[in-house]
Amino acid sequence: MKIRTGSVLSLAAGALFFLSVAQSAHASSSGLNNIPTTDTPPTKAVVLQTWFNLGENLSREMFVGFKTSPIENLEVGLDWRALSNTSHSHATLQAKYSIDIFPELLPHVWKAAVGIANLSADRDHNGEPFPFVAASVDLKCFRLHAGFSPQRYNEAFFFGIDKTVTVLDRNLQFRADAIQFNDMREMLYSAGFVYEFGRKSEYQRPEGILGVLDDIAKNIILEGWVSMPSDNGQETFTVKLNYVIRW
């Protein structure tokens, strides 16, 4: 018989899921703030990542990770705790494959993905694996995202929206999402942004040290968001830095 709300096992799984999401344990997977989407990195690139959380009574932790696309539409990534008050720093693996649903009729408008995140040898601390399916639609004015995870004892629907604008010739994306936890009894909401330091248009590279700094800065992507559980629990602020290496 499938265990449902009210069982100790289900509540424990929900707590582990909330901790893994709130602490961005799946953060190497391309997505919005706390949910995966159909996005994948470009090929011939590796995205190095580091992130940490701010909030009252939070333990001091910093995460590092990377993601890449060995072939088009396939993403693989790995992340782990680089700094923690505990000795538990087992790596977690994630993978995803994305497809264009109507490549001939509506290219790059409707997309779908199937993937798994939070694969770890230490489920006691990192929680259960997080398999998922996701879909996205680009309405030009904004994008919508939705998906479902049949995570063991803690199935969850998730939803999101993002809007990209140009600020100082650079992409600035506003994003928000929501995901269920605690056996679909609670919701974790979040709102945040992504800012790309690389310019969109062609420009003349500065000379000397300014040129070197410009070469470094153009590969940096800054993210930040706040996560708010529906049970009036503690808000968590996450700051994440990405560095894209291309070849």
- Cβ-based neighbour number of residue 79 at 10 Å: 25
Answer whether residue 219 shows pLDDT above 70.
yes
The average pLDDT across 103-114 equals 92
d(CA 185, CA 136): 25
Answer whether residue 11 shows pLDDT above 60.
no
CB 18, CB 182: distance < 8 Å? yes
pLDDT of residue 84: 65
Element at 64 (helix H, strand E) = strand 62-68
pLDDT of residue 23: 43
Q: In the chain, what percentage of residues exceed pLDDT 90?
A: 60
d(CA 243, CA 77): 14
Who wins on pLDDT, 98 or 13? 98
Helix, strand or coil for residue 77? Answer: strand
Domains located in the chain, CATH noted: 8-246 (2.40.160.40)
d(CA 28, CA 137): 22
pLDDT of residue 53: 86
pLDDT of residue 86: 58
Who wins on pLDDT, 13 or 217? 217
Who wins on pLDDT, 229 or 57? 229
**Letter string b/e over residues 128-157, b meaning 16 or more CB atoms within 10 A of that residue's CB:** bbbbbebbbeeeeeebebbbebebbbbebe
pLDDT single digits (tens) 17-36: 444 444 444 556 899 999 99
**Letter string b/e over residues 17-26, b meaning 16 or more CB atoms within 10 A of that residue's CB:** bbebbbbbbb
User: pLDDT grade, residue 5 (50/70/90)?
Assistant: very low
**What is the average pLDDT score of the chain?**
85
pLDDT of residue 32: 95
